[in-house]
């Protein structure tokens, strides 16, 4: 077991958009789409979409901290979605689409909050970041048909209209961090 492997859970709108981006980062070992941040146990996609479980659509990222740092992951995260809109990303509206970061301990919470403060001060975003930051309680993997969705359905309308432009922008901005 690689002792440098760490996990972080990130939500920035639809999990279908985040998964293909983080899978392309050098140092990321695995990405699983799922649900977290809510109150019910083992929620289904339909339950999460209702907005009544309190869960967000998220990805669980397993990364090698010797290859990619928490700060580098956060830099990507805060530039591939709008962390200033409460409970929405584009046309996706509801608490299930909120910007959220779930980490392992208080030290990581402090690191994330420091990063948010620096980004707010930098003026990257016109409005203040509203990303929820908490310690991870539970992560529930989504149903199998959601895993690798973009890879399995590259020609689907949502993939073409929403995911492809995000992926293109990401590849241009973070080309130096892509897997070969």
Catalytic residue IDs: 14
**Of 133, 103, 102, 104, which is closest to residue 116 (Cα–Cα)?**
133
Query: Residues 143, 33: contact at Cβ < 8 Å?
Result: no
Q: What is the dihedral of CA 106, 112, 113, 117, to 10 degrees?
A: 160
Could you tell me whether strands 99-103 and 132-135 are parallel, antiparallel, or unpaired per DSSP bridges? parallel
DSSP letter for each residue of 45-85: HHHHHTT-S--EEEEEEEEETTTS-HHHHHHHHHHHS-TTS
């Amino acid at each position: 077991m690689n002792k440098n492997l760490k996990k972080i859970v990130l939500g920035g709108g639809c999990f279908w958009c985040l998964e293909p981006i983080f899978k392309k980062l050098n140092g990321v070992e695995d990405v699983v789409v799922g649900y977290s941040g809510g109150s019910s146990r083992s929620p289904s996609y339909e339950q999460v979409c209702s907005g009544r479980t309190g869960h967000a659509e998220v990805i669980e990222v397993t990364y090698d901290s010797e290859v990619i740092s928490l700060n580098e992951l956060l830099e990507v995260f805060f530039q591939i979605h709008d962390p200033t809109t409460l409970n929405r990303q584009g046309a996706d509206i509801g608490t299930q689409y909120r910007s959220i970061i779930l980490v392992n301990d208080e030290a990581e919470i402090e690191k994330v909050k420091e990063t948010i403060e620096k980004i707010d001060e930098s003026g990257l975003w016109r409005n203040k970041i509203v990303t929820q930051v908490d310690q991870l309680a539970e992560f529930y993997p989504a149903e199998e048909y959601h895993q690798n969705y973009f890879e399995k359905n590259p020609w689907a309308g949502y993939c073409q209209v929403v995911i492809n432009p995000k992926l293109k922008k990401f590849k241009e901005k973070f080309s130096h961090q892509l897997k070969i």
